[in-house]
Amino acid sequence: MLFGRDPRKKAVLELAMKQVERVLREMQDSGKDLGQLKFKKYQKTHYTTCRCAQCLEAQRTKNPHKRGLLEDGYKVYVGVGGAEGPDEE
């Protein structure tokens, strides 16, 4: 079992999976070729001039990974290798 005995976490995961499936179906119905679908994780952090507690700690320890997060998620690319997708790694 993925989350053990926590039914709330399981319900949240199921809801998220349904939403992702709905979006992918809409993309497919609109004519997108999902054969070259690619997910890429991204994190958008606070600006370098931010003075919140997390960012000050990151600056003090010289560890940019400790800066506060504004966004955390995934980007979806369709037709990787063309003008729409990221550079191949």
Task: Compute the distance between CA of residue 36 and CA of residue 28 in angstroms, rounded to an integer.
Answer: 12
- Find all residues with CB under 8 Å of 46, minimum gap 6, and list them: 52, 54, 55, 67, 68, 69, 70
| DSSP strands (E only) in 1-89 | 38-45, 69-77
Q: Are residues 24 and 46 in the same domain?
A: no
Q: Are residues 61 and 23 in the same domain?
A: no
Tell me the whole-structure pTM to 2 decimals. Answer: 0.55
- Residue 75's DSSP bridge partners are 40
Q: Are residues 39 and 62 in the same domain?
A: yes
Tell me how many domains the chain contains.
2
Kindly give the confidence (pLDDT) of every residue in the chain, 89 residues in length, as a single tens digit, with 9 standing for 90 and above. Answer: 455 678 899 999 999 999 999 999 998 899 888 888 888 888 888 888 889 999 999 999 999 888 888 888 888 888 755 444 455 44
Q: Are residues 15 and 48 in the same domain?
A: no
Q: Are residues 39 and 82 in the same domain?
A: yes
Q: Are residues 13 and 43 in the same domain?
A: no
